[in-house]
A and B are shown apart, each in its own frame.
Chain A
Amino acid sequence: SAALTQPPSLSVSPGQTATITCSGDNWGDKNVCWYQQKPGQSPFLVIFEDTRRPSGIPERFSGSSSGSTATLTISETQAMDEAVYYCQAWDTSTVIFGGGTKLTVL
């Protein structure tokens, strides 16, 4: 069945680069987007259509895609970036989310 796989957790030090992957065998040719969710808050969009940043999202956030894997990269990670990150993809009949990656900035 269709699924998007993310690592459950990732830890980085402030100033380092965080790289979060999202893999799906059946979703390689589909657009992917990414959401950030902090505790007690609604998710919000940080990357759409694989690489595009919504207005107001810092340039530190970037997206890429190759084959069946999409990647969210956060450069110069800050404490405020600590959150759960979800990838999402869609096709002509459904929408699917990855399981989420908890990013800890130590």
Chain B
Amino acid sequence: VQLVQSGAEVKKPGESLKLSCQASGYSFPLYWIAWVRQMPGKGLEWMGTIYPGDSETRYSPPFEGLVTISSDRSIRTAYLQWSSLQASDTAIYYCVRSCTVPFCYFDSWGQGTLVTVSS
């Protein structure tokens, strides 16, 4: 199992952003993929999850409406996007493989994408 994330980003407040996470080594449609945020020097926060089989999504309440999680089965890729970034979005974002149910442990982690939002 491997999850390869897109590279680091530096953005200005108000800009949009879409991160990617390409999966390999397992049946992509069958496992939920989640996104986890880690702000500088802080702990882990679950943002939401998607089932690539039918694109069903579930969001953590603090992140609902602020980010969009999507996926493209044809290229085995999940996405996390913002329409308008804020400085407080500065963090490392990890994509993680979950189970065949929406809420579970995470047995594989991407390398993380550092997002820096600064004017």
What is A's interface to B at a CB cutoff of 8 Å?
31, 33, 35, 42-45, 48-49, 54, 86, 88, 90-100
Contacts and interface: CB of A to CB of B under 8 A. Distances in A.
B46 A96 contact: yes
B104 A90 contact: yes
Given A42-B112, A94-B60, A54 B107 contact: yes
Given A94-B60, A95-B34, A45 B106 contact: yes
21 contacts: A33-B105, A33-B106, A35-B44, A43-B44, A43-B94, A44-B109, A45-B106, A48-B105, A54-B107, A90-B104, A90-B105, A91-B103, A92-B103, A94-B103, A95-B60, A96-B46, A97-B44, A97-B45, A97-B46, A98-B43, A100-B43
Contacts of A43: 44, 94, 109
A94 B64 CA distance: 12
Contacts of B107: 45, 48, 54
A44 B97 CA distance: 11
List 6 A-B pairs, minimum CB-CB distance, nearest first. A33-B105, A90-B103, A95-B46, A42-B109, A48-B105, A97-B44
Q: Taking each of A90, A92, A98, which has the highest tally of chain B beta carbons within 10 Å of its own beta carbon? A: A90
Contacts of B55: none
Nearest to A49: B105
Contacts of B105: 31, 33, 45, 48-49, 88, 90
Given A42-B112, A44-B109, A86 B43 contact: yes
Nearest to B105: A33
Nearest to A99: B43
